[in-house]
Amino acid sequence: MQPFVYNALPARVIFGSGTLSQVGHEIQRLGCSKALVLTGSTHSKKGEALRTDLGELAVGLYPNAAMHTPTNITDAAVELAQTLGADCVVALGGGSAVGLAKAIAFRTDLHQIVIPTSYSGSEATAIIGQTENGIKTTQKTLKVVPEVIIYDVDLTLSLPAQMTITSGINAMAHAVEALYSTECNPVTDMLAEQGIARLASALPILAQDPQNSEARSDALFGAWACGSCAGMVSMALQHKLSHTLGGTFKLPHAETHTVVLPHSIAYNTPFAEAAMARVARSLGAATAAQGMFDLAKSLGAPYSLKELGMKEEDLERAVEVALKSPYPNPAPLEREKLLGLLRDAYEGNRPA
């Protein structure tokens, strides 16, 4: 056994069906009594219902969470929280709502209770990503770790099949990078393999039967496992490229991860063969890159940046932005090779 360092995050996790009913108890358990409920526009009605259910424990609703956590949205939410005298935030929704809760906590130290409705996994990490003036930046700090994560399988039953698939592959990206991270360890390796395997088996079922509660439970657990990996180790090229494409070129987050992941895997495979063998095994595929590409394509997910609205003439700029502040990565980051990666992703070529 090789030496390793393992850092666990201090979060309370509640997993099951019908667990949304425990939000009020968790607010009081934190010693709070004035929660600001956060959602995006998609979940505003659910947010209003939650606010009503919480009664006097909720002081308001902010329904404007947005993808990639724009700082101007955070400005408005923080102002509302301070005006209402909120002592905690309750985020209900996907990565946008969770990201806003983190951004508020980063500025104010308010307690967070987050209730994910997708598989992004960001709720289980100490990473905050924010976008300002078209540039998305990330940092890692325990200040943004939610005090409580409530996973309610029932809330994912209405997640559309297409969003289910891209959100699930987004979660897999966390686990893939954890396996070749400079901080990888036996605990995160185990979680990563289990998370990828659970999602790889659940997503084909959910593509055909989105209401399958057993597959939903497996997918949600897989997303937590994958997100937990990202919370305990550093990320690399996959996340750098996806953050660049999303923050600078306004591409959708989960879909971008879905398109880029097979190609970042192919780029890193010669320098992380043991990690990629674990990914392939978890997918039940011969190779990690082709297995991930084939899974996404077979499920009807987007597999080219062209489909997402990326312009070919912007590929070189994307490489330049990504190289300005690169993340540690197994393979050396070479401009022409990165441009080749993005060109393959743009065209939707199956990795060699």
Q: Give tens-digit pLDDT for 218-243.
A: 999 999 999 999 888 889 999 999 99
Q: Are 210 and 159 in contact (CB under 8 A)?
A: yes
Please give the pLDDT value at position 1: 67
Give how far Cα 208 sits from Cα of 212, 214, 243, 291, Å.
Answer: 9, 13, 30, 20
Task: Please identify every stretch of the chain with a pLDDT value under 70, giving residue numbers as ranges.
Answer: 1
Please give the pLDDT value at position 212: 97
Sequence letter at residue 348: G
Please give the pLDDT value at position 127: 86
In degrees, rounded to 5, the angle at the alpha carbon of residue 305 between the alpha carbons of residues 137 and 337 is 75
Sequence letter at residue 55: G
Distance of alpha carbon 268 from alpha carbon 177, whole angstroms:
10
Q: What are the beta bridge partners of residue 216?
A: none
Q: Tell me the pLDDT tens digit for each residue of 87-135.
A: 999 999 999 999 999 999 999 999 999 999 999 888 988 889 899 988 8
Q: Are 30 and 209 in contact (CB under 8 A)?
A: no
Please give the pLDDT value at position 97: 97
Q: Residues, the chain, total?
A: 352
Q: Are 23 and 150 in contact (CB under 8 A)?
A: yes
Closest CA to 282 of 144, 181, 189: 189
Q: List domains and CATH numbers for the chain.
A: 12-156 (3.40.50.1970), 161-347 (1.20.1090.10)
- Please give the DSSP secondary-structure letter assigned to residue 68: T
Distance of alpha carbon 294 from alpha carbon 349, whole angstroms:
11
Q: Are 127 and 230 in contact (CB under 8 A)?
A: yes
Judged on CB neighbours under 10 Å (0-12, 13-18, 19+), 289 is buried
Q: Are 118 and 97 in contact (CB under 8 A)?
A: no
Determine if the pTM surpasses 0.75. yes
Please give the pLDDT value at position 188: 94
Q: What are the beta bridge partners of residue 139?
A: 128
Closest CA to 133 of 294, 301, 1, 247: 247
Distance between alpha carbon 180 and the CA centroid of its chain, in Å? 18
Give how far Cα 101 sits from Cα of 34, 167, 175, 263, Å.
Answer: 15, 19, 23, 31
